Amino acid sequence: MSMTYYTLGNSGLRVSRMALGTMTFGTEWGWGTDRDTARAMFDAYVEAGGNFFDTADLYTGGTAETWLGEFVAERGLRDKAVIATKFTFNSEPGNPNAGGNGRKNIMRAVDASLKRLGTDSIDLYLM
């Protein structure tokens, strides 16, 4: 099967029409997939030609980003992969600067996401 790629808005990024969402990577929320199942989903998507991955800093407490980063690295796909991640929700109840769209939280969230993803860049950052 041949995947068709499309330009994402005016970003210049070429992405597969369907993104692989990773909100179900991990079972910390009492539902979702274990690591082996998540890996099988990732592999099937990549083998079909998919290159656009959607995740978020707080999906399953960070497990989704961690596993996605590991799966991308294990297959050597970082240059082909387009990784989108999100932030905004408060990661630390009681700390007013650990959530929201202010600079302090943006910097905290992007640094944490880069570390979990094991990369030095995020292709699309959403709030």
Express each pLDDT in 22-42 by its tens digit: 999 999 999 999 999 999 999
The CATH number of whichever domain residue 54 belongs to comes to 3.20.20.100
Compute the average pLDDT of residues 48-73. Answer: 97
SS3 (DSSP) at 67: helix
Express each pLDDT in 116-126 by its tens digit: 999 999 999 99
Domain count, the chain: 1
- Quote the mean pLDDT of the chain: 95
Instruction: Give me 96's structure tokens.
Output: 């007013």
**Annotation says 45 is catalytic:** no
On the question of pLDDT at 2 being above 80, the answer is: no
Task: Print burial letters for 74-96: b (CB count within 10 Å at least 16), e (below 16).
Answer: eeeebeebbbbbbbbeebeeeee
Q: Write down the catalytic residue from 6, 45, 59, 125.
A: 59
Q: Is 123 left (phi over 0), alpha (psi -120 to 50) or beta?
A: alpha
Residue numbers of the domain that contains 76: 5-126
